Amino acid sequence: MPNPQIDVSIVVPTYGHSAQLRRLLDSLDKFEPRPPFEVIIVDDCSPDDTGAVVAAWLAQEHPVPARYLRLDRNSGPAAARNEGTRLARGRWVAYTDSDCVVEPSWLRMLTRKLADDETLAAVGGLVLPLNPNGLYSKYNSVDGTLVPNETVNYLITANACYVRERVLEVGGFDTDVRKPGGEDVALSIKLGMAGWRFAYEPEAVVYHDYQESFRHFVRTWKNYAVGNGYIVAKYCGNLPEDGNTWHHNSLRPPWMSWNWTRHVLGIQRAKCRANAMPFGQTVKFIALRYVQMFVHCWYFQTGEEAFSGKRPLSARLKGLFVGFRK
């Protein structure tokens, strides 16, 4: 039940990130004056020593209450967040991930807009790379992968705070999406369809630990694409893609025609110029953008197939080659 002495419940889903989780928990202990909060760590049946790491942290003195829940089986971040939200006693629920580190002012900055505007369902913040010099960290930062778009119709749960009651009213995160990517889009879609608004607070800062690996880069965008394809097919059906409905990463991507590919890579070059990047790094970023486009285009269709089962692999192959000829 809600507790009037707790304003915010911080819910942290985690799976197999024990070392990174300890770093996040240490950052929570460094908060500046903030609204009364609690911490709920939901372990998605991790195969590592996550339980021992959390137990060691809980054994120390903390100025706020903290709880640990281990799920019986691995169910994905959506299910973990839903469990944490049900346990939450605050009127607001702030989400971040175990591979993040939060600024001392994070919670205070996230909640100030929610307190002032009752039409908001949630407020999202700025996600910066923990290692700003890494190739993949810098690429995601320049590309704005985890930053809300201009219309703020989609929030990233690495850095967001929701009104708990509104999350529960729409059924929480979509547990059909088992991998990270798409489950937060689904929640945004459901809340948006219910008439609620979102806001962006760039002073609420979280640092994300991007893995510096090409394999992880591809796997991450595969998960995003499959999850987004599934939820767009599920919630939006055949709604027209007018460019203003949802975040650009959730829209059904066109096949990679020559004109479209040239347009997107041109945008990437412009971003590199705006950030005064050297030629060699610009070439790498354009190559990564091309890989991202291909993975997103291909696996978005996989997500749509998972929901509808109407588009076989042969049709995707045909569409891909037809797109290149245009």
Is 2 within the bounds of a domain?
no
| pLDDT at res. 253 | 67
Q: Where is the domain boundary, 153, 186, 212?
A: 212
> How many percent of the chain have pLDDT more than 70?
87
The mean pLDDT of 168-179, rounded to a whole number, is 94
Is 3 within the bounds of a domain?
no
pLDDT at 27 over 50: yes
Distance, CA of 308 to CA of 139 (rounded, Å):
33
The mean pLDDT of 204-221, rounded to a whole number, is 95
User: Are residues 138 and 116 located together in one domain of the fold?
Assistant: yes
Is 251 within the bounds of a domain?
yes
Q: How far is CA 99 from CA 48, 208, 318, in A?
A: 15, 6, 39
User: Are residues 179 and 241 located together in one domain of the fold?
Assistant: no
The mean pLDDT of 164-173, rounded to a whole number, is 96
User: Are residues 159 and 205 located together in one domain of the fold?
Assistant: yes
pLDDT at 121 over 50: yes
pLDDT at 317 over 60: no
Q: What is the pLDDT of residues 230-285, one digit of tens each?
A: 988 888 875 555 444 444 445 566 667 778 788 888 888 999 999 899 999 999 99
Number of domains into which the chain is organized: 2
pLDDT at 109 over 70: yes
User: Are residues 185 and 229 located together in one domain of the fold?
Assistant: no
Q: What is the CATH number of the domain that holds 193?
A: 3.90.550.10
User: Are residues 295 and 206 located together in one domain of the fold?
Assistant: no
In the sheet where 8-14 sits, what is the strand order?
Answer: 66-70, 37-43, 8-14, 92-95, 160-163, 120-129, 197-208, 100-102
pLDDT at 292 over 80: yes
| pLDDT at res. 8 | 94
Q: Which of 96, 118, 101, 117 is nearest to 39 (CA)?
A: 96
| pLDDT at res. 55 | 95
Q: Which of 32, 8, 22 is nearest to 103 (CA)?
A: 32
The mean pLDDT of 143-150, rounded to a whole number, is 76
User: Are residues 226 and 172 located together in one domain of the fold?
Assistant: no
Is 89 within the bounds of a domain?
yes
Sign of the alpha-carbon torsion through 53, 58, 64, 69: positive
Band (63; pLDDT cuts 50, 70, 90): confident
SS3 call for 177? coil
Domain residues for 231? 221-325
Buried/exposed 231-262: b ≥16 CB within 10 Å, e otherwise: bbbbbbeeeeeeeebbbebbbbbebbeeebbe
User: Are residues 191 and 304 located together in one domain of the fold?
Assistant: no
Q: Where is the domain boundary, 164, 192, 212?
A: 212
User: Are residues 148 and 34 located together in one domain of the fold?
Assistant: yes
Distance, CA of 116 to CA of 114 (rounded, Å):
5
Is 124 within the bounds of a domain?
yes
Report the range of poorest mean pLDDT among 39-48, 88-97, 297-306. Answer: 297-306
User: Are residues 95 and 195 located together in one domain of the fold?
Assistant: yes
User: Are residues 85 and 132 located together in one domain of the fold?
Assistant: yes
| pLDDT at res. 246 | 44
Residue with the bigger pLDDT between 8 and 61: it is 8
Band (203; pLDDT cuts 50, 70, 90): very high
Helix 279-308 with 313-325: angle, nearest 10 deg? 140
Q: How far is CA 120 from CA 217, 248, 267, 274, 303, in A?
A: 33, 22, 32, 33, 30
| pLDDT at res. 307 | 84
Report the range of poorest mean pLDDT among 37-41, 77-81, 247-251. Answer: 247-251
The answer to whether the beta carbons of residues 211 and 136 sit under 8 Å apart is yes
The mean pLDDT of 88-104, rounded to a whole number, is 95
| The model's pTM | 0.88
Is 16 within the bounds of a domain?
yes
User: Are residues 31 and 154 located together in one domain of the fold?
Assistant: yes
Is 225 within the bounds of a domain?
yes
Q: Where is the domain boundary, 212, 229, 263?
A: 212
Is 258 within the bounds of a domain?
yes
User: Are residues 102 and 191 located together in one domain of the fold?
Assistant: yes
